Amino acid sequence: MEYLYIIAAGLFGLVIYFLISSLRLKKAVSVLSQEQFIEGYRKAQLVDVREPKEFDGGHILGSRNIPSSQMRQRFKEIRPDKPVYLYCQNSARSARTALFLKKKGCTQIYQLKGGFRQWTGKIKTK
């Protein structure tokens, strides 16, 4: 019976953690449909946060690659006074990157809903 209380407390903790994370994410980033993303990314900093092999396999035309794994070392390459459009393969890494960039002073952060996996626009491959 004690195990049930421990499991229930653990599950409750996880639910609270995910709720807080989702609220933080909502404050940090605006999630855009592909159409909305296309409307604004040409006037912004378009950043692909996937790893270089993924980027080389195909990326949104005009994007630059700053992998999320290198963001702590390279975040100064992103201007905090200009809009930042982020994407990754499915939105998880770009969400974490958005939270990090928010802490570093970026205020206009946008994320592609569904990530590159759902992108149907122009791409470039190496």
Output b/e per residue, 67-85; b: 16+ Cβ within 10 A. bbeebeeebeebebeebbb
CATH number at residue 113: 3.40.250.10
Q: In this structure, is residue 13 part of a structural domain?
A: no
Q: What is the token pair recorded at 27?
A: 């404050």
Name which of 84, 86, 74, 73 is nearest 108 in CA terms: 84
Predicted local confidence at residue 38, as pLDDT: 95
Query: pLDDT-based confidence at 14, cuts 50/70/90?
Result: confident
| Whole-number percent of the chain with pLDDT over 70 | 90
Predicted TM-score (pTM) of the model is 0.81
- Residue appearing with tokens 């626009």: 121
Domain count, the chain: 1
Would 21 be classed as within a structural domain? no
Q: Is residue 45 part of a domain?
A: yes
Domain that holds residue 49: 29-124
| Per-residue pLDDT, 21 | 61
- The string of pLDDT tens digits covering residues 24-61 is 656 668 999 999 999 999 999 999 999 999 999 999 99
**In the chain, where do the E strands start and end?**
30-32, 45-48, 59-60, 64-65, 84-87, 109-112, 123-124
- Alpha-carbon span 71 to 37, nearest angstrom: 22
Q: Let me know if residue 89 belongs to a domain.
A: yes
- The pLDDT of residue 8 is above 90: no
Question: CA-to-CA distance for 110 and 87, rounded, in angstroms?
Answer: 9
Indicate whether 1 belongs to any domain: no
